[in-house]
Amino acid sequence: MTPQMLLKIRFSELAEGLKVRISVRRRTDKFYLTITGSWEHTERFMRTAFPGAWVTSAAGDECVYGLPMDEVTRALAEIPPDGDWWPRRDSTAWRIAQGIREDRAFERLPILADALEEAGCNNAAILEHCRAPGKHGRCCWVVDLLLGK
């Protein structure tokens, strides 16, 4: 997956919760995020995801932000590269993630965390997210990441 896709997946859940749409693009060594939605929700998203970002252009309900490289690096560091533990299609963790997505059964996320841990995952961001209380909308960045969506 490209860094742009990983960033979009990582922040898809926040975007959905705030009812904004995001896309990420890269030009040479710079990243830009286009966000569409109400100004209030756009501001809240950016303060949470990329507080150091700056507006490069805006028209109507669409804004383009330049992303500080240190914040991009930090966000990407939360997403581990494929490792020995990374779920394959025939693995227990992959099947659990697929079931969560198909059934929108986010209450199963702690079970997914256990399966990932058993497979060797020790990524704190992933495991903490799966075990954290709280509601999910129609997506979960961890499930989307594992399934490559």
Q: Are residues 8 and 72 in the same domain?
A: yes
For 82-107, the pLDDT digits (tens) are: 556 666 767 888 899 999 989 988 89
Reported as a single tens digit per residue, the pLDDT across 6-50 is 898 889 888 988 999 999 999 988 999 999 999 999 999 999 999
Of 46-55, 80-89, 122-131, 139-148, the range with the lowest mean pLDDT is 80-89
Q: Which of 46, 77, 108 is the last residue of a domain?
A: 77
In a domain, 19, yes or no: yes
Residue 61 lies in a domain: yes
What integer pLDDT is reported at residue 14 of this predicted model?
87
Give start and end residues of each alpha helix (H) in the chain: 3-18, 39-49, 69-77, 92-103, 109-119, 124-131, 141-147
Q: How many residues does the chain have?
A: 149
Residue 12 in any domain: the answer is: yes
Predicted model pTM: 0.72
| Structure-token pair, residue 81 | 């590269």
What pairs with residue 34 in β-bridges?
23, 64
Residue 84 located in a structural domain:
no
Q: 13 in a domain, yes or no?
A: yes
Find the angle CA(4)-CA(32)-CA(129) to the nearest 5 degrees. Answer: 50
For residue 85, is it within any domain? no
Query: How many domains, the chain?
Result: 2
Last residue of a domain, one of 34, 50, 77: 77
Write down which residue in 48, 77, 106 finishes a domain: 77
Domain of residue 110 covers 92-147
Q: Do 29 and 57 lie in a common domain?
A: yes
65 and 108 together in one domain: no
